[in-house]
Amino acid sequence: MAVIATAGHVDHGKSALVRAMTGIEPDRYAEELRRGLTLDLGFGHVVSSDGTTLDIVDVPGHADYLKTMIAGMSQASVALLVVDAVEGGRAQTREHLAVIEATLPEAGVVALSRVDLVSMERRTQVASEVTELLSQSSISWSQPFFTSAVTGEGVAALVDELARVVQTVDEQRSERPSVPVRLFVDRVFSITGAGTIVTGTLSSGCVSVGSELVLVSSDRSVTVRGVQRHGVECEQVAAVSRIAVNVSGLSTTELERGDALVEEGEWQNTTAVDVVLDLLEGSSIRNGKGFSAHIGSARRDVNLRPVGGADNAHRNWYRMRFDDPLPLRPQDRLVLRDQGVGEVVGVAIVNDVAPISSPSRSFPDGSVEQQLIAHGWITIAEARRLTGLDVAPVAGPWTAASTVVESTLRSLRERLGTAPFDVAECTEIERSLLSSIDGVVIEHGVARLGGVDPALESPLIDRFLVEGVAAGPIDSADRPVVARLVRLGVLIGHDGVYFHTEVLRGLQPVLELLWGADPDGFTVAELRDALGVTRKHALPLANCLDQMMLTRRVGDRRVRGRGSQP
């Protein structure tokens, strides 16, 4: 599915052509009908001869309503440029073409309107002028269609051409990676018995009855109670489509044009992005103030500051800041407008949705490495929000830029080269990475690089496992090995009495019984009686349980520690 948006100079017959194609009046307000001037977005749809349903958004042509035109064109898949055959291309034809180039729809169709009023020679002349105007466009345009909303000439052929283009766009889109739901709101109203309704162009994702979405401006969650396309109830609708959504949890006063509904946790809601500017010929940024950025139906006043240092000034890299958050991904395109002169000056293409480095140290080249490097280790979900891509995990559910990964591995290799260490001292990420280092051996919770630690082969280990909580005294000759096993985390001791850590972990059921008898904790004497040991062992044992955080001392009692699992 694809959405078509009109474009063209004021009074060039855009609304009349939409009316002729669809049979629907796109001008919804009495003021529009009285003045014969489109003031707001209008909507229509038509089924072509081959059964393709076309969604059409009609936009104002007057210069004073350019921001409304941008709202209609921004999420469209196909541009329908309408040029009056009597007047030919005019000021807003060129300005609207600049918007089209900025929003970059996937295809364009040209219609010459009111051809019933001109000669064949004039038709040919205007068609040639328009073709020349579009010759440098980055959009693939059709040859101009001769149409008349009065006589109906060319209208059916135009509908069929739009259907053909839409089908081509749909085929191309099916090969692209899926993007989560993002719906910019362009209308809000209520219906008795239904509640709040929002409409907009669904540019990505699939909205279903029962879907949970988030309103970006307030972080409020809403539930989709119903979805309509062309007034027909649907269980779900996929992008790109014009849809009406019945939402629960919000009143009409809490929503307005420019708001966005998105899938929770899937978009980076940001107030600062690093962008590359593609400026129109003759346009400049000056001091970076007095600009607005537009995406979907959203508009933001923005400040622009160069990034990347003096050596990269030619790249047109800028940091864009705005007050209210927008849900953005890399490669999103924001139309940039100079508010002083009221003209579109180009497009800002997002390269980094969450810049951290200072502008002079930021180099937003759009690569995944650049987008991740300042964020350190992050979850896969965070990486997807930052990059818009499914980034492969590196350590468990975590990932990072390659330089961050190598730095962590280098640090681990240095530690291993110094001495074996207890893996319990490592972070979850470090523990996951240890197994990827060649030659690393992990035994009894201790990591070492190559070979076997002699202490780990000592018969003392088996002795402490067998003797359990009543371990005997240590010979002086064995003390260096015991000290080594303590450092390796195999043994733990207090006042010259040692226990195997696995033995202490195995006491969990006994501890649970003691806490079950008295939730306020147990005394050393109660621990002694429960285990049948002497006080000589009971007191060091209680202290060792504290060291392992299986217990925590409160006065003369032991309560549950952080390391104890209920």
DSSP assignment of 343-401 equals EEEEEEEEEESS--S-GGG------HHHHHHTT-SEEHHHHHHHHSS-PPPSBTTEE--
Higher-confidence position of 1 and 92? 92
Tell me the pLDDT tens digit for each residue of 15-67.
Answer: 999 999 999 998 887 887 878 778 888 899 999 999 999 999 999 888 778 88
Helix or strand or coil: residue 133?
A: helix
Confidence of residue 114 (pLDDT cuts 50, 70, 90): very high
Q: What pLDDT score was predicted for residue 58?
A: 92
Whether 252 has a pLDDT exceeding 80, the answer reads yes
Q: Distance between CA 227 and CA 231 in Å, rounded?
A: 9
Whether 262 has a pLDDT exceeding 80, the answer reads yes
- Comparing CA positions, the residue from 5, 176, 175 lying closest to residue 97 is 5
Higher-confidence position of 33 and 466? 466
Q: What pLDDT score was predicted for residue 176?
A: 54
Whether 451 has a pLDDT exceeding 70, the answer reads no
Give kind and range of the element (H or E) at residue 229: strand 220-229
Whether 503 has a pLDDT exceeding 90, the answer reads yes
Provide the whole-model pTM: 0.76
Q: Give burial (CB, 10 Å; 0-12/13-18/19+) of 291.
A: buried
Q: What pLDDT score was predicted for residue 444?
A: 66
Confidence of residue 452 (pLDDT cuts 50, 70, 90): low
Q: What DSSP state is assigned to residue 239?
A: S
Instruction: Check: CB of residue 112 under 8 Å from CB of residue 127.
Output: yes
Domains of the chain: 3-173 (3.40.50.300), 182-263 (2.40.30.10), 268-387 (2.40.30.10), 403-449 (no CATH), 457-560 (1.10.10.10)
Helix or strand or coil: residue 204?
A: strand
Tell me the pLDDT tens digit for each residue of 225-246.
Answer: 999 998 899 999 998 899 999 9
Instruction: Check: CB of residue 423 under 8 Å from CB of residue 442.
Output: yes
Distances (CA, A) of 188 to 27, 104, 246, 296: 17, 27, 10, 15
Q: What pLDDT score was predicted for residue 378?
A: 96
- The amino acid that residue 40 corresponds to is D
Q: Distance between CA 277 and CA 285 in Å, rounded?
A: 10
Whether 566 has a pLDDT exceeding 70, the answer reads no
Q: What is the 3-state secondary structure (H, E, C) of 483-536?
A: HHHHHCCCEEEECCEEEEHHHHHCCHHHHHHHHHHCCCCECHHHHHHHHCCCHH
Tell me the pLDDT tens digit for each residue of 134-177.
Answer: 998 999 999 999 999 999 999 999 999 999 999 998 887 765 55
Can you spell out the DSSP letters for 442-484? EETTEEEESS--GGGG-THHHHHHHHGGG--PPPGGGHHHHHH
pLDDT mean over 343-347:
91
Tokens linked to 296: 């979907």
pLDDT mean over 265-288:
92
Whether 425 has a pLDDT exceeding 90, the answer reads no
